[in-house]
Amino acid sequence: MAFFRITLLRSAIGLPRRSTDVLKALGLKKRMATVFHAVSPSVAGQIMKVKELVQVEECQYRLTKQEVHLERKPDPGYYLEKSSSEQRGDTSL
């Protein structure tokens, strides 16, 4: 079964109530929030009404909240080759 991965990129502030109601129906409340819905014509129609505000991808399975968080988490930007105690030759630890 395929799923739509829908991420809210832009806020609906200042838009007609119809747009905000569609976002609520999809389950999107905050920017950069991600929800998964099964592929269906009704969900596709809702997406088309707010297509300027969301990013949509099709995926094969639903990710958990933790998996989505880990996907977005950046690399630390560094890695440790040796700890400082190994470089000095300390064996007391």
pLDDT of residue 92: 61
pLDDT: which is higher, 22 or 87:
22
pLDDT of residue 73: 85
* 30-79: pLDDT as tens digits: 999 999 999 999 999 999 999 999 999 999 999 998 998 888 888 878 77
Q: Is the pLDDT of residue 1 over 90?
A: no
pLDDT of residue 75: 80
Q: Where are the domains of the chain?
A: 3-65
| Contact criterion met (CB below 8 Å) for 28 and 8 | yes
* 20-31: pLDDT as tens digits: 999 999 999 999
What fold characterizes domain 3-65? Ribosomal Protein L30; Chain: A, (3.30.1390)
| Contact criterion met (CB below 8 Å) for 34 and 7 | yes
In angstroms, the CA 20 to CA 12 distance is 6
Q: Which residues pair with 34 in a beta bridge?
A: 7
Q: Is the pLDDT of residue 93 over 60?
A: no
Q: Is the pTM of this model over 0.85?
A: no
